[in-house]
Amino acid sequence: MARVALRTFAFRRLLHLSRFPRPSSFPTLKFHTAASALRMGASVEQFEEAKSRLSTLKNDPGNEAKLKIYALFKQSTMGPCTTGRPGMLDFINRAKWDAWNGMGNVPQEDARQQYCDLIGSLVAAEGGSASVTAKPAGSSQYNTLLVTTEDNITTIKLNRPAKKNAITTEMYTEIMAALGHASTDSSVLAVFTGAGDFYCSGNDLTNFTKIPEGGVEEMAQQGGELLRKYIKSYIDFPKPLVAVVNGPAVGVSVTVLGLFDLVYATEKATFHTPFSQLGQSAEGCSSYTFPKMMGHAKACEMLLFNKKLSAAQACSLGLVTEVFPESTFQTEVWTRLKAYAQLPPNSLALSKQLIRSSEVERLHEVNDAEVERLKERWTSDECFNAVMSFFQAKAKL
């Protein structure tokens, strides 16, 4: 206990020395309102929070519940079903249409309440709180992301360019919410990219300065569960998932690329996983996907010995699908993606399911094992000293 208290004091002292903002000064999480038909008010804000909570579920609720969730979502955002019934061979959309049509003339306000109640009951069944707290009016947007849907593509852009798109705990939560929304919206595929010159510089290490009253052990437990849910949202994402890597990528933004279906990179991109420098270990299922993708030795160079890859090297090892010249990167990539987004959505989703089906269970097992190892690492003297050294060096700048 004395060591825990000492670590907590030391971290908080570095928090002051490095002039990082206190946790209480960070903005309150806000959610994006995707359905313009919804009227503003507490029930709408509760609906938005319920959507974000859906992505935090640890277990598959089953097809019946998922169809009910879909039907309530459509009824909440669009009202009664007025579209024609899909053809006999379109099994998935036919089942979804039947569920939505079965809502009849239930008012949107009632459907929103039922949606919140259903999500709340599913969360409560896993040990969470069933209640949804209303957000104040005007809070219906993301703080750290730009999320748009256009040309059948939902784009999730990391939007902290001044911080090289480093991922805060708030951004983790917002990304999960955005993925949860993209999984049920009208888009055909989802795309991740970064604002500014960086794709993502990995974890914002100020996350390590937010020590709760329970000390470092509690911080590790909370961080581990957040990471577990975050990686799960990638593993379970049902549509094609594409990374448009517009610049350097570091840490968790690199490791999760093994869970994407396509990775396009500019020639100026680099890929770096400096875990051992910080006394940590791999995450994002990379301890499984990287050796499978690039071979044991090359994976060890990255995950153990911190080797930074150029875009061309990453492409040769299978981490990147294709590299484009910087001058034509955005034009070529988005022209291609817009063409892909015109393909039949059910065919894409079902084909992805077939490709991924034999590995989903294994990926969840790997995610769990990696998180448990990281929780141990985060409470170790080795990691503590490495992170302290990082902050001390930063404080001298």
CB 189 within 8 A of CB 152: yes
Structure tokens at 305: 């010995």
* Topology at the third CATH level for domain 2-21+143-396: 2-enoyl-CoA Hydratase; Chain A, domain 1 (3.90.226)
- For 95, phi then psi, to 5°, come to -65, -40
Model confidence at 317: pLDDT above 50: yes
Residue 201 Cα distances to 172, 254, 270, angstroms: 14, 9, 11
Domain locations along the chain:
2-21+143-396, 42-125
Tell me if domain 2-21+143-396 and domain 42-125 are identical in fold: no
pLDDT score of 91: 73
* pLDDT for the residue 36: 34
35-39, 79-83, 294-298: least confident range: 35-39
Tokens of 365: 């097992």
Radius of gyration of the chain (CA): 22
Range among 23-32, 59-68, 126-135, 153-162 rated most confident: 153-162
Predicted structure pTM score: 0.67
Class of domain 42-125: mainly alpha
Q: Is 150 exposed, middle or buried (0-12, 13-18, 19+ CB in 10 A)?
A: exposed
In this predicted model, what pLDDT tens digit does every residue of 154-181 receive, in sequence order? Answer: 999 999 999 999 999 999 999 999 999 9
Least confident of 40-54, 84-98, 251-265, 331-345: 40-54
Greater pLDDT, 54 or 197 = 197
Nearest CA-CA partner of 195 in 170, 154, 165: 165
Phi-psi region of 376 (alpha: psi -120 to 50; beta: other; left: phi over 0): alpha
Q: What does pLDDT average to over the chain? A: 84
Q: Give CA–CA dist 390/36, Å, rounded.
A: 45
Query: What pLDDT is attached to residue 44?
Result: 57
The pLDDT of residue 141 is above 80: no
- Report the candidate in 369, 203, 169 with the shortest Cα–Cα distance to residue 278: 203
